Amino acid sequence: MSPAAARPPVDPAFEPLFALVHAPGVKTMSEMTPDEARTMFKMLTVQSPVDGVRTEDRSVPGPAGEVPVRIVTPESDDEPTGVLVWFHGGGFVIGDLDTADDTARRLALAAGCVVVSVDYRLAPEHPAPAAVDDCWAATVWVAENLATLGVAGGKFAVGGDSAGGNLAAVIAQRDALHGGLGVAAQLLVYPVTDLAGRTESYVANGEGYFLTVDAMEWFSANYLGDLDPADPVASPLRSPDAVLANVCPAIVHVAGYDPLHDEGVAYAERLREAGVDVDLHDFETMIHGFYGMPTITPVAEEAIQEAGAALRRLLSGEG
């Protein structure tokens, strides 16, 4: 739904969060150093107990040294449906394995799959395309180690939220162009798809709904370095149709009160126009980041269950 059209109001359960982050005297993202922003993000991250999985922290080979990953495996007698390589959100500047842990665990249980969560290098210390290169290296490792992960002969997907959704889309495109790894699906949760453009949802949702335009501009400035924001490595929405036509099926979840709403929808529409199977769900009353807020809204768990069911189908080859 377009932000300009009639829409249901934002979920009132978010009001205490809005009051906290937008209170007078609280620094905006652009007023923080990257380290201050990382500390703030950790403090805001809600970690609720998620049992029924086991985890292993290890490192895999990367282009500039080892890349830390966390392997999350459901504790079940059933064989895993496959693997999801998960790239956390945080504007390419903040976030890590711990801030992504709750969502990774919930997705592992919902999809019945192994989740390999990737701790890629962050900007501005490591500007683009460092994060892409680390995520690609982790995806290559997964493709070559399915037996080690307990899914010999199985399939794997890539996914991420926000900046992680951007990285997942870019990795899916790289696989289609050059890799031949055989990524089976991409789960894009309120993804960044166009760092060179501004949509109507930037105007409608750019202030007062947790993620702001100010924060997005700060993230972009820190991440891009010398990379042109219109380069598909930064803005997968700007890839040509010939590339999009060859990417794997996509599950795209967007939030109605998110500055990134319209570019997520636009990417889903471009994939469909290119002939890609797309499962798009617009959570109209939600805000950016709601996947990580299961203690605030039950919609977070509902969305993860929906994503998990779609991943099960795609990883099992059922469509």
Examine the residue annotation and report whether 241 is marked as an active-site residue of this protein.
no
Whether 267 and 237 have beta carbons less than 8 Å apart is answered as yes
State how far the alpha carbon of 14 is from the alpha carbons of 210, 264, 286, 292, 297, in Å: 9, 22, 9, 13, 8
DSSP codes of every residue in 273-295: HTT--EEEEEEEEEETTGGG-TT
Helix axes 130-144, 163-174, angle to 10 degrees: 60
Indicate which residue of 161, 175, 258, 279 is catalytic: 258
Report CA torsion sign: 24, 27, 30, 31: positive
Whether 50 and 106 have beta carbons less than 8 Å apart is answered as yes
Whether 107 and 86 have beta carbons less than 8 Å apart is answered as yes
**3-class secondary-structure state, position 161:** strand
Amino acid at 42: K
Indicate which residue of 162, 220, 235, 239 is catalytic: 162
Examine the residue annotation and report whether 101 is marked as an active-site residue of this protein.
no
Residue closest to 291 by CA, chosen among 65, 158, 22, 100: 100
Examine the residue annotation and report whether 162 is marked as an active-site residue of this protein.
yes
Residue with tokens 């300009």: 4
Question: What CA–CA distance (Å, rounded) separates 13 from 25?
Answer: 23
The catalytic site residues sit at 162, 258, 288
